[in-house]
C-alpha cells in the first residue's frame, strides 16, 4: 500500500501540473456550459422581430380577430422582442383575406389565413404556434355561436361544451411497474434524461486522466523508469487508478454541475429527489471507476501511442452515443435484439439505473448498478493482466 500511495501522489502531482488538461476537463465545461446557456439566451432575447398583420377584409369580425391576435402574440411569445404592426408587412406576416368575416357568419362557411415568413429561426416557429393557438380559440367561439343558433332554431337546449368536447382526456402517471405516480413525475422523468445525458461528461475526465496516466507516461519517457522502481506492476496500476479516480470524480462533479446549469439557465424545468440524487452520485462513482479500469486495460493492450489514443476516443464515442440516446429513446420500448445489444454495453446500465430512480424503482437501481459494478471489477482484472512491464516497455 505504501508503494501504491507513492505512485498515487506522483500521478496527482503530474496531472495537477498539466494546467491545460485540468482546465479542459474541469473548468471549461463548468464555465462554458452555463456561459453558452446565458449567451444563447441573451442573444435570443436581443432579437427584434416585426409581425405584420394585414386585414384585407375590414369586417367587424376580422377587426376583432386582428386586435385579439396582436395582443396574444405580444403576450405569448417570450424572450425575443416582438413588435406587431397592423396594416403592414413584417419579418413574419399574417394576412386575413377578403370574405373572412362573411364566411364565419355562415353556418358552414370556411375561410383561411396566410402566414408568410422565411423558415429557420426558432422565434418564427414560436410566433406561428401563437397564431395557431389564438386561431383555435377564436374559431371555437365561432363554432359555439353556430351551435347555439342551430339549437335555437330547432328549439333545443344544448350544452355547447359537451357537444363540442364529448371526450375528456384525463392523465394518470404510473411508474414502469404500473404503480401510481404524482403529476410531478413528468418533470422528474425529464430531469432524469438530462442527468443520463450528463453522464457523458462524467466519462470524459476519466478517459482523459487515465489515458494520460499510461500514454502520457510513455510520451514523457518516464514509464520505463517507473517500471524499474521498487514497486510491483500492481502497485503502479493501483496508484494510477486511485489518482485517476480522485481527479476524475472532481472533474465529473464540476462537469455535471455545468450541464445541469446549462439546462436550468436555458429555461428547462429540473427537479431531483433524494433517491435520484443518490443514484446519480453512485452512478458517477462506479462509471469513473469502470472507465478508468477500461482505459487502463485498453491503453496497456494497445501496441502504439496512436492506437491507445484512438481506442480512448472510441470509448468516448460509445459513451456519447449511449447518453445522447438517453435524451430521446425509451430503452424499454426497443425490440429485444436492440435491448440485448445495449445491455451488453456497460454504460447503458448507468442510464437505466437513473431512469429507475426517477420512478422510485429501487430494485432496478440496485440491479443495474450491480451489473455496472461487476463490469468494473472485470475491467480492473483486465487492466492488471495487461499492465505488464514487458508489454508496456515495447509500447511505441
How does pLDDT run across 90-117, given as a tens digit for each residue? Answer: 999 999 999 999 999 888 889 999 999 9
Rounded to an integer, the average pLDDT of 332-354 is 89
- Lowest pLDDT segment from 64-68, 83-87, 180-184, 239-243: 180-184
Distance CA 356, CA 344 (A): 18
Q: 18: pLDDT confidence band, cut at 50, 70 and 90?
A: low
Specify the length of the chain in residues: 396
Percent of the chain with pLDDT over 90: 24
- Of residues 265 and 153, the one with the higher pLDDT is 153
Average pLDDT over residues 57-81: 90
CA atoms of 396 and 394, how far apart (whole Å): 6
Query: In this predicted model, what pLDDT tens digit does every residue of 237-265 receive, in sequence order?
Result: 777 788 878 878 887 788 777 777 777 77
pTM of this prediction?
Answer: 0.70
- All CATH 3.40.1710 domain ranges in the chain, comma separated: 48-170
Give the Cα separation of 60 and 115 in Å (integer): 21
How would you label 155-167 residue by residue, b for 16+ Cβ within 10 Å and e otherwise?
Answer: eeeeeeeeeeeee
Kindly report, residue by residue over 191-228, the tens digit of the pLDDT.
Answer: 888 888 888 888 888 887 777 777 766 666 666 666 66
The pLDDT of residue 48 is 84
Q: Pick the most confident of 83-87, 236-240, 321-325.
A: 83-87
The percentage of residues in the chain with a pLDDT greater than 70, rounded to a whole number, is 78
Q: What are phi and psi of 80, to 5 degrees?
A: -70, 155
Query: Can you give the pLDDT at residue 136?
Result: 94
- SS3 (DSSP) at 361: coil
Q: Tell me the CATH number of domain 48-170, given options 1.10.3710, 3.40.50, 1.10.10, 3.40.1710.
A: 3.40.1710
Amino acid at each position: 500500500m505504501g508503494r501504491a500511495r507513492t505512485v498515487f501522489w506522483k500521478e496527482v502531482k503530474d496531472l495537477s501540473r498539466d494546467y491545460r488538461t485540468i482546465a479542459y476537463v474541469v473548468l471549461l465545461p463548468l464555465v462554458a456550459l452555463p456561459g453558452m446557456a446565458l449567451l444563447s439566451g441573451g442573444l435570443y432575447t436581443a432579437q427584434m422581430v416585426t409581425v405584420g398583420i394585414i386585414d384585407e377584409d375590414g369586417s367587424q369580425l376580422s377587426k376583432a380577430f386582428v386586435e385579439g391576435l396582436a395582443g396574444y402574440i405580444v403576450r405569448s411569445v417570450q424572450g425575443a422582442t416582438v413588435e406587431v404592426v397592423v396594416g403592414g408587412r413584417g419579418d413574419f406576416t399574417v394576412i386575413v383575406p377578403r370574405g373572412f368575416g362573411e364566411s364565419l357568419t355562415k353556418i358552414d362557411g370556411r375561410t383561411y389565413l396566410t402566414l408568410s415568413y422565411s423558415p429557420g429561426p426558432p422565434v418564427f416557429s414560436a410566433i406561428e404556434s401563437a397564431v395557431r393557438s389564438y386561431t383555435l380559440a377564436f374559431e371555437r367561439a365561432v363554432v359555439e355561436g353556430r351551435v347555439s343558433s342551430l339549437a335555437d332554431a330547432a328549439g333545443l337546449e344544448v350544452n355547447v361544451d359537451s357537444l363540442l368536447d364529448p371526450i375528456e382526456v384525463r392523465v394518470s402517471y404510473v411508474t414502469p411497474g404500473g404503480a401510481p405516480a404524482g403529476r410531478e413525475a413528468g418533470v422528474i422523468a425529464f430531469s432524469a434524461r438530462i442527468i443520463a445525458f450528463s453522464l457523458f461528461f462524467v466519462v470524459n475526465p476519466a478517459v482523459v486522466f487515465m489515458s494520460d496516466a499510461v500514454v502520457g507516461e510513455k510520451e514523457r519517457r518516464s514509464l520505463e523508469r517507473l517500471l524499474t522502481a521498487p514497486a510491483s506492476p500492481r502497485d503502479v496500476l493501483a496508484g494510477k487508478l486511485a489518482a485517476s479516480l480522485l481527479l476524475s470524480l472532481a472533474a465529473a462533479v464540476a462537469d455535471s454541475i455545468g450541464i445541469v446549469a446549462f439546462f436550468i439557465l436555458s429555461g428547462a424545468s429540473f427537479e431531483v429527489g433524494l433517491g435520484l440524487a443518490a443514484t446519480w452520485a453512485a452512478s458517477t462513482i462506479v462509471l469513473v471507476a469502470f472507465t478508468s479500469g477500461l482505459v487502463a486495460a485498453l491503453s496497456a493492450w494497445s501496441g502504439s501511442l496512436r492506437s491507445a489514443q484512438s481506442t480512448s476516443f472510441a470509448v468516448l464515442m460509445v459513451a456519447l452515443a449511449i447518453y445522447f440516446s438517453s435524451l430521446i429513446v425509451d430503452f424499454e420500448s426497443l425490440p429485444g435484439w436492440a435491448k440485448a445489444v445495449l445491455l451488453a454495453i456497460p454504460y447503458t446500465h448507468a442510464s437505466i439505473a437513473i431512469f429507475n430512480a426517477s420512478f422510485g424503482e429501487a430494485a432496478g437501481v440496485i440491479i443495474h448498478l450491480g451489473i455496472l459494478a461487476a463490469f468494473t471489477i472485470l475491467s480492473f482484472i483486465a487492466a492488471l493482466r495487461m499492465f505488464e512491464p514487458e508489454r508496456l516497455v515495447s509500447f511505441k
